[in-house]
A and B are shown apart, each in its own frame.
Chain A
Amino acid sequence: MSEIIFSFDDKMYKGQHGEPLAAALLRNGLLSITNSTYHGRPRGVVGLGVEEPNALVQLVSGTQESMLPATVIEVAEGLSARSLTGIGALPDAPDEARYDKTNCYVDTLVIGAGLAGLKAAGEELRAGREVLLIDDQPGPGGHLRHLGAGLPSALQDVLAHQNLTYLSRCTATGLYDQNYVIAIERRSDHLGSAAPANRARIRVWHIRAGQIVLTPGAFQRPLIFANNDRPGIMLSHAAATYVTVNGVRIFRTAVVTTVDNQGYRDALRLHNAGVQVQAIYDARPGAKGSSVDAASAAGIPIRFRAAVLDTASNAEGALHSVTIQDLDTKDAFEITADLLAVSGGWTPIVDLATHIGIKPKWSEEHAAFLVNHFTDKLRTAGMLAGDFGGDDDPSVFFGPALDAEQARYAYIDLQRDATLHDLRRGVGAGLSSIEHIKRYTTIGTAHDQGKTSGMLTIGALCQLGDAGQGGKPGLSPADVGTLSFRPPYVPIPFVALAGRERGELSDPIRITPLHQWHVEAGAVFEDVGQWKRPWYFAKPGESMEDAVRRECIAAREGVAVMDASTLGKIDIQGPDAAVFLDRIYTNMFSTLPEGQCRYGLMCKADGIVFDDGVTTRLGKNHFLMTTTTGGAARVLAWLEEWLQTEWPDLKVYCTSVTEHISTIALVGPKSRQLLSELVTDIDLSKDAFPFMHSRMATIDGIPVRIARISFSGELAFEVNAEWGYARYIWERLWALGRSYDLTAYGTETMHVLRAEKGYIIIGQDTDGTQTPHDLNMSWIVSKKKEFIGKRSFQLPYLKATGRPQLVGLLPEDGDEVIPEGAYITALNARPDEHGKIPHTGFVTSSYYSPALGRAFALALVADGLSRMGEMVDVPIGKKLLSATICDAVFIDKENIRRD
Chain B
Amino acid sequence: MLNIPCPHCGLRNETEFHYGAEAGVAYPDPNTLTDSEWAKYLHIRANPKGWLAERWVHFAGCGRWFNLWRNTITHEIGPVYLPFTTQPKMPGNTVQEGPGK
A interface residues with partner B (beta carbon < 8 Å): 176-178, 180, 208, 361, 370, 372-375, 379, 385-387, 605-606, 637, 640-641, 644-646, 648, 786, 790-792, 794-796
Chain A residues near B57 (CB, 8 Å)?
637, 640-641
Determine how close the nearest CB of chain A comes to the CB of B87; give it in whole angstroms: 14
Q: How far is the CB of A240 from chain B (nearest CB, A)?
A: 28
- Give the Cβ gap from A448 to chain B, nearest Cβ, in Å: 26
Q: Which of B26, B64, B75, B101 contacts A646 (CB under 8 A)?
A: B26
A794 and B31 CA atoms in complex are apart in Å by 10
Question: Closest chain B residue to A795 by CB distance?
Answer: B35
Q: A208-B3, A386-B101, A640-B57 are in contact. List 18 more A-B contacts (CB 8 A).
A: A176-B1, A177-B75, A370-B100, A372-B101, A373-B97, A373-B98, A386-B100, A387-B101, A606-B42, A606-B43, A641-B20, A646-B26, A648-B83, A786-B31, A791-B33, A792-B38, A795-B35, A795-B39
Q: How far apart are B49's CB and chain A's nearest CB, in angstroms?
A: 13
CA distance A178 to B11 in the complex (A): 12
Interface bits B20-62 vs A (CB < 8 Å: 1, else 0): 1000001100110101001101110000000000010101000
User: Which residue of chain B has the shortest Cβ distance to A796 in the bound complex?
Assistant: B35
Cα–Cα distance between A492 and B35 once the two chains are bound (Å): 52
Cross-chain contact B30 with A786 (CB below 8 angstroms): yes
**Cα distance, A342 to B12, chains bound together (Å):** 49
**17 sample A-B contacts, Cβ–Cβ < 8 Å, listed by A number:** A178-B75, A361-B100, A370-B100, A374-B98, A375-B95, A385-B100, A385-B101, A386-B101, A605-B41, A640-B65, A641-B57, A644-B83, A648-B84, A790-B30, A791-B31, A792-B42, A796-B35
Beta-carbon nearest neighbor of B32 in chain A: A791
Listed from nearest, the 8 A-B pairs whose CB atoms lie closest are A374-B98, A791-B30, A177-B75, A372-B100, A644-B65, A646-B27, A645-B65, A178-B3
Determine how close the nearest CB of chain B comes to the CB of A217; give it in whole angstroms.
16
Question: In the complex, which of the residues A372, A373, A379, A644 contacts B64, with contact meaning CB atoms closer than 8 Å?
Answer: A644
Contact of B99 with A637 in the complex, beta carbons under 8 Å: no
A637 touches B100 (CB 8 A): no
- Is B88 part of the binding interface, using a Cβ–Cβ cutoff of 8 Å? no
A644 to B55, CA, bound (A): 12
In the complex formed, the residue of B with least CB distance to A605 is B42
Residue of A at shortest CB range from B38?
A791
CA distance A367 to B63 in the complex (A): 54
The residue on B at minimum CB distance from A606 is: B42
Residues of A within 8 A of B64 (CB): 644
Interface residues of B (CB under 8 A from A): 1-3, 18, 20, 26-27, 30-31, 33, 35, 38-39, 41-43, 55, 57, 59, 63-65, 74-77, 83-84, 95-101
* Bound CA–CA A375/B96 (angstroms): 7
Find out whether the CB atom of B101 lies under 8 angstroms from the CB atom of A645.
no
Do A637 and B59 touch (CB < 8 A)?
yes
B100 contacts which chain A residues (CB < 8 A)? 361, 370, 372, 385-386
| Residues of B contacting A640 in the complex (Cβ-Cβ under 8 angstroms) | 57, 63, 65
Which chain A residues lie closer than 8 Å to B39 at the CB level?
A: 795
B98:A372 contact, CB within 8 angstroms: yes
**A607: nearest chain-B partner, CB-CB:** B42
A112 to chain B, nearest CB (A): 17
Cα A204 to Cα B98 in complex, Å, equals 32
Q: Which of A176, A644, A795 contacts B38 (CB 8 A)?
A: A795
CA distance A669 to B35 in the complex (A): 50
Which residues on the B side are within 8 Å of A641 (C-beta)?
Answer: 20, 57, 65
Instruction: Pick from A178, A180, A370, A641 the residue with the most CB of B within 10 Å.
Output: A178
User: Nearest B residue to A387 by beta-carbon distance?
Assistant: B101
Chain A proximity of B21: nearest CB distance (Å) = 12
- In the complex, what distance in Å separates the CA atom of A270 from the CA atom of B20? 63
CA–CA, A646 and B41, complex, Å: 14
User: For B95, what are the chain A residues with a Cβ–Cβ distance below 8 Å?
Assistant: 375
What's the nearest-Cβ distance from chain B to residue A57, in Å?
34
A373 proximity list for chain B (CB < 8 A): 97-98
Question: B35 contacts which chain A residues (CB < 8 A)?
Answer: 794-796
CA A794 to CA B35, docked complex, whole Å: 8
Known contacts A374-B99, A644-B64, A644-B65; is-contact A637 B18 (Cβ 8 Å): yes
CA A373 to CA B39, docked complex, whole Å? 45
**Could you say which residues of chain A place their CB within 8 Å of the CB of B33?**
791
Residues of A with C-beta under 8 A to B63: 640
Contacts of A646 in B (CB 8 A): 26-27
Known interface pairs A372-B101, A386-B100, A795-B39; A645-B3 also in contact (CB < 8 Å): no
- Contact between B55 and A645 (Cβ–Cβ < 8 Å)? yes
Chain B residues positioned under 8 Å from A786 (CB to CB): 30-31
Give chain B residues whose Cβ lies under 8 Å from the Cβ of A791.
30-31, 33, 38
Q: How far in angstroms is the closest Cβ of chain A from B74?
A: 8
Residues of B within 8 A of A387 (CB): 101
Q: Tell me the complex Cα distance, A644–B65, Å.
A: 7
Question: Which B residues touch A379, using CB under 8 A?
Answer: 98
Q: Which residue in chain A gives the minimum CB-CB distance to B27?
A: A646
Known: A374-B99, A796-B35. A177 touches B84 (CB 8 A): no
A178 to B95, CA, bound (A): 12
Task: Give the distance in Å from the alpha carbon of A208 to the alpha carbon of B13 in the complex.
Answer: 10
Docked pose: A387 CA to B83 CA in angstroms = 50
Inside 8 A of A361's CB, which chain B residues have their CB?
100
Give the residues in chain A near B101, CB-CB below 8 Å: 372, 385-387
Which residues of the partner chain B approach A790 to less than 8 Å between Cβ atoms?
30
Q: Which residues of A contact B65 (CB under 8 A)?
A: 640-641, 644-645
CB distance from B57 to the nearest CB of A (A): 7
Find chain B residues with CB under 8 A from A208 CB. Answer: 3
Residue of A nearest to B74 (CB): A177
Q: In whole angstroms, what is the CA distance A579 to B60 when docked?
A: 28
A824 to B34 alpha-carbon distance, docked (Å):
36
The closest CB in chain B to the CB of A177 belongs to: B75
A648–B65 Cα gap in the complex (Å)?
12
Query: CB-CB < 8 A to A794: which residues of B?
Result: 35
A606 and B101 CA atoms in complex are apart in Å by 56
Tell me which residues across on chain A come within 8 A of B41, comparing CB atoms. 605
Chain B residues with Cβ below 8 Å from A648 are: 83-84
Give the complex CA separation of A641 and B56 in angstroms.
Answer: 10
Q: List, in ascending order, chain A residues with CB within 8 A of B43's CB.
A: 606
Kindly state the separation between the CA atoms of A792 and B95 in the bound complex, as whole angstroms.
44
A645 proximity list for chain B (CB < 8 A): 20, 55, 65, 83
- By a CB distance below 8 angstroms, the chain A residues around B27 are 605, 646
B96 contacts across to A, CB distance below 8 A: 375
Q: For the complex formed, measure the closest distance between the CB of A143 and the CB atoms of chain B, giving whole angstroms.
A: 19
Kindly state the separation between the CA atoms of A648 and B82 in the bound complex, as whole angstroms: 12
Which chain B residues border A795 with CB–CB below 8 Å? 35, 38-39
Q: What residues of A have a CB within 8 angstroms of the CB of B84 in the complex?
A: 648
Nearest-Cβ distance from residue B1 to partner chain A, whole angstroms:
6
Are B2 and A177 in contact (CB-based, < 8 A)?
A: yes
What distance in Å separates the Cβ of A654 from its nearest Cβ neighbour in chain B? 10
Contacts of A637 in B (CB 8 A): 18, 57, 59
Task: Give the CA-CA distance A646 to B84 in the complex, in Å.
Answer: 9
- Residues of chain A within 8 A of B3, CB atoms compared: 178, 180, 208
Q: For B99, list chain A residues within 8 Å (CB).
A: 372, 374
CA distance A361 to B59 in the complex (A): 42
Q: Tell me the smallest distance from the CB of A189 to a CB of chain B, in Å.
A: 28
Asked whether B18 lies within 8 Å of A375 as measured between CB atoms, the reply is no
Nearest-neighbor residue (CB-CB) of B64 within chain A: A644
Instruction: Give the residues in chain B near A178, CB-CB below 8 Å.
Output: 2-3, 75-77
Bound CA span A176–B75, Å: 10
Q: How far is the CA of A796 from the CA of B3 in the complex (A)?
A: 43
Closest to B35 in A: A795
Minimum CB–CB distance for A620 against chain B, Å: 26
Q: How far is the CB of A358 from chain B (nearest CB, A)?
A: 9
Q: Say how far A142's CB is from chain B's closest CB, in angstroms.
A: 19
Question: Is the pair A180, B1 in contact by a Cβ cutoff of 8 Å?
Answer: yes
For the complex, give the distance between the alpha carbons of A747 and B79 in Å.
49
A501 to chain B, nearest CB (A): 13
Q: What's the nearest-Cβ distance from chain A to residue B34, in Å?
A: 10
Rounded to whole angstroms, the CA-CA distance of A795 and B97 in the bound complex is 50
Tell me, in angstroms, the Cα distance from A795 to B35 when the chains sit together.
Answer: 6
Bound Cα distance from A177 to B101, whole angstroms: 24
